[in-house]
Amino acid sequence: MSTPVSEFTLTLDQVRDYEFRVRFDKEGLPELIMDEPPPLGRDAGPSPARLLAAAIANCLSASLVFCTRRARVELGPVHAEVRMQIVRNQEKRLRVGRVEVVIDPNIAAAGREKARHCLEIFEDFCIVTQSVRQGIDISVSVKGMT
């Protein structure tokens, strides 16, 4: 892969059971509670799958906003809906099976022609979506368990 352009580190600490507190590495960003739904967790916060769905939809929406602003296309308030399907693989393990994102940028009829080029390219600039689509190299280690 390429040389890193930036890097960040987040920390997670267990609160109880499947509930974790996420601390971000930027001052001013609030902590986030994540949790699994019942029967494992208590739904005290979004699950990892829900955060992934939100990250995909947010990144795509932001990429579209960026492109249309550069093209000087006026948007109304952008609305996005993301649907994530959880499936079981051959080993009966839960996996993300499909993600559908519908973005409504509220582009006025007068700006639609100007926005066509953005609609062709905006996905390619979405860091999260393109990384998930291509697969991400993930390294895992567990301290004290070598």
Q: Is the model's pLDDT at 93 over the cut of 70?
A: yes
Mean pLDDT across the stretch 77-94?
96
Which one of 3.40.718.10, 3.40.50.2000, 3.90.79.10, 3.30.300.20 gives the CATH number of domain 47-134? 3.30.300.20
Q: Is the model's pLDDT at 89 over the cut of 70?
A: yes
Non-local (6+) Cβ contacts of 18 within 8 A are: 35, 36, 40, 41, 42
Query: Residue 70 — pLDDT band, cuts 50, 70, 90?
Result: very high
Does the predicted TM-score (pTM) go above 0.85?
Answer: yes
What is the residue whose two structure tokens read 């190299």? 137
Instruction: State the DSSP string of 95-140.
Output: EEEEEEEEEE--B-GGGHHHHHHHHHHGGGG-HHHHHHHH------
Query: Residue 146 — pLDDT band, cuts 50, 70, 90?
Result: low
End-to-end CA distance of the chain: 27
Mean pLDDT across the stretch 3-24?
96
Q: Is the model's pLDDT at 112 over the cut of 70?
A: yes
Other CB atoms within a 10 A radius of the CB of residue 106 amount to 12
> Domain boundaries in the chain?
10-46, 47-134
Other CB atoms within a 10 A radius of the CB of residue 9 amount to 7
Distance of CA 27 to the CA centre of its chain: 21
Query: Residue 2 — pLDDT band, cuts 50, 70, 90?
Result: confident
Query: Residue 1 — pLDDT band, cuts 50, 70, 90?
Result: low
Comparing 108 with 50, which gets the higher pLDDT? Answer: 50
Residue 79's beta-bridge partner residues?
104
Non-local (6+) Cβ contacts of 89 within 8 A are: 95
